[in-house]
Amino acid sequence: MIDLNKIRNWSITLGILLFIIFLSTWVRLSTINSPTVLDYDPFWWYRYAKIILENGFKMPEWDILSFYPPGRPTEPFQGWPYTIAIFYKILNSLSGMDFTRAAIISPLITVALIPIPAFFLGKFLTGNNIAGLATAIFATLTPAFIGVSMAGYCDSDAPVVFYSFFSVLFTILAMKKRSIPFYFLAILANLMFIYNWGGGWITLILFLVFILTIIPFRVLEDVIHTKKLTLSLSGVLKEVKTLFIPLIVIILITNVVGFILWRMTMFHSLFGGLVFTGLVGQPLIVNVSVAELQPINVFSREGFLAVVSRVGLLPVILTFFGLPLLVLYKLYRRERIAFEEIFLFLWALVMFYLITRGIRFSLLFSIAAATSAGYAIGNFYNYLKGRNLVIFSTAFGLVGLLILMFISDAIQIGYASSGMLLSQNWYDMLDWLKSNAKKDAIVATWWDPGHIIAGYTGLRVHADGAHCGPTVCIPYNHNVRIQDMGRIMSTSDEKEAISILKKYMQLTPEQCQEVKQKFGDIIPKEACEPASEMYFISSNDLIGKFTWMNYFGGYRAPIKSNADFQANPGVCCASTPKTEPGQISCGEFAAQGKGVWVWCPWIFSFSEVKQDQEGNPVYVYDYAGLKIAIIQKGDNLIPIYNNRFLINHLTFFPQGSAKPQAIDLTRLNTSLERIDGLIWIDPSFRNLIYFAPSIKDSIFTRTFFFDGEGLKHFDLVYSNPEIRLYKLNFD
């Protein structure tokens, strides 16, 4: 007999799930009309997917564009670019869609699929559809996820979220069902996760840790239930055996297949993750400059609120208060805690702890939080339904209101995430490179835009955002290249800068042989051939990053005290947790209440206009409470810092002129102390930049702010308000 109630309930559930799928994609549509993929990292996957299509659906073993010379071996985990290529083939056959448009839509397709495994995971864990629907909502609309899965943001975050739910779902099903079909599905799900993201071993690592923790948890639970210190392990060991056997089958087979396919196991991945997060060994030095990898105290008010802002208030509350409350309620009623509750709590705690190594890991925590929050809601529903109607209605009315607020925040975040497109100035410069640079040219700049340059122009780059350690990038790994580029940008010695850049034109015979010994026949011939030419980019985004260029270039702030700080205005001082013995970083300096967080060059904003005692106009500029005053005396502009220092050099743009005018105040008669620094005022007079003596003549300052004036080896070939492009002359 047909159960009409069941059909009605499933119809309603299906309708809500379809609405969640629609909503999840709709909030990400503000960037749908982008002419290219967004931001930096998505260009890496875009380029690899394009290579796959152009190479007959086969990934070449060597990537000559990245970290040239000599390039680098392609990574084995290429599931996501293959997926983008498959999406293109399907969409092109159905609608004639071009590859770029298919790449832009690819994260939306993946996001639309996520509610399905999320729903079934929540439903399976609780036995009701409410949990599944709540899990699906939290899974796709969490703030940390929206920003990295907008239309056009085809980075690997969307497949990471999808396969996290997919692999956890089928691993739990295999542990519960204990049958060959479910073993096969669990192994396949985990292998697909790994193939799409090298860190996909995390699911099996979590379940292995869970098995190791279940024994002490069960012992503690029995003590609470019996109120006696008993050590009877027979029941616990029976449960562990029931869970362990299917899990160990999945782990062993997945590791064997993983080693055969990629020469990697979960233990390699675990060690690599520990190194990357700085828990073991020495991570790449670049990590200290990545904002999302800075240590964060999640137990402080500021740290906890930072997590809430990225994950959402309701999922965090339900994870850290709802789930424990549910466990305590079960302990009170002497009900046995389900193994999935132990796993969910462990999953959330481990992911939450990872955030202490950087806010970037909030995405992984959001997946655990979505599942835990959905589980809590589903169980509260099971406990409250059929009881006091007022309590039930009040509780779920409040939950419904909070979910609506969560959805409202997601919609706003989606609209606010539309600013990740490259500016037209960058497109114009890249188009110039595509049209004018030779195919075997190399482009050098700071590491961030490397993916864009290689992905858009097809040219080789000195460095990009794909971390490349000493065992992969030979002879110049990520640490070497970032220190070299920091030195190039920071030095005032053009000969030194050119000498460093020249070594990246071609490997020496000895270096080439070293690479061939390491990687064998996969090295293409052109990897050891000289580049035909080199281009150098100086761009305005590097103004805010100059502190790190200076830091990695080997320059250090000589700050030892507050008095030392006051005597060295504008000095570069990176906000690293620690610095060299006898010195102090700006992070430590600010934390001790001795000063502000200092970056260089200092960027001041116009504050107000005053008059001095002689009636001369005084233009006041502010930077974090520090003041620079520009006194206008006739045709002269006199910069004064902190009412104490006269700054010797000033450059400004006379009204209506596109050419800067330099003022030298070294001979001005004054009783003030002098600093041989430089003030640069933008044409609008709304901002000024102060360069300390040590950086006013740096290669970056001269190439960006002064169009390479006075440099012999940097030939300016293209310029716009954001970018200066140079062709290097090594003669």
Q: Pairing mode, if any, of strands 626-633 and 636-641?
A: antiparallel
pLDDT at 388: 76
C-alpha neighbours within 13 Å on the C-beta side of residue 686: 1
**Which residues partner with 627 through β-bridges?**
622
Q: Are 319 and 367 in contact (CB under 8 A)?
A: no
| DSSP codes of every residue in 256-275 | HHHHHHHS--HHHHHHHHHH
User: Any idea where the domains of the chain sit in the sequence?
Assistant: 4-31+114-416, 424-542, 556-601
Residue 455's pLDDT is 95
User: How far apart, in whole angstroms, are the C-alpha atoms of residue 168 and residue 347?
Assistant: 11
Q: In 147-179, where does DSSP find H-type helix?
A: 157-177
Contacts of 597 (CB under 8 A, 6+ apart): 575, 586, 587, 590, 624
Q: What is the pLDDT of residue 595?
A: 39
Contact 482, 707 (CB under 8 A): no
Q: Is 368 exposed, middle or buried (0-12, 13-18, 19+ CB in 10 A)?
A: buried
Q: In whole angstroms, what is the distance from residue 701 CA to residue 708 CA?
A: 9
Which residue reads 């090594």 in tokens? 730
Amino acid at 419: G
Chunked mean pLDDT (size 10), the chain, 731 residues: 74 94 96 92 95 94 96 94 97 96 97 97 92 96 94 95 97 93 96 95 93 81 71 73 91 96 91 77 74 77 87 92 85 81 89 86 94 92 79 83 92 85 93 96 94 96 90 92 93 96 95 94 92 96 88 71 68 58 52 52 91 90 88 88 90 84 90 91 92 92 95 97 96 85
Question: What angle, 0 to 180 degrees and rounded to 10, lies between the N-to-C axes of helices 301-311 and 362-384?
Answer: 80
pTM of the model: 0.91
Q: What is the pLDDT of residue 531?
A: 95
Q: Measuring CA to CA, which residue among 92, 95, 108, 87 is closest to residue 34?
A: 108
User: What pLDDT, on the 0 to 100 scale, is given for residue 575?
Assistant: 55
Tell me if residue 556 falls in helix, strand or coil: coil
Exposure string (b/e) for 680-718, b if CB count within 10 Å is 16 or more? bbeeeeeebbbbbbbbbbbbbbbbbbbbbeebebbebeb
Sign of CA dihedral 540, 542, 544, 547: negative
| The two structure tokens encoding residue 452 | 């864009």
pLDDT of residue 594: 44
Q: What element of type H or E holds 638?
A: strand 636-641
Which helix (H) or strand (E) segment is 209 a member of?
Answer: helix 202-226
- The tokens describing 730, both together, are 């090594």
Strand partners, 364: none
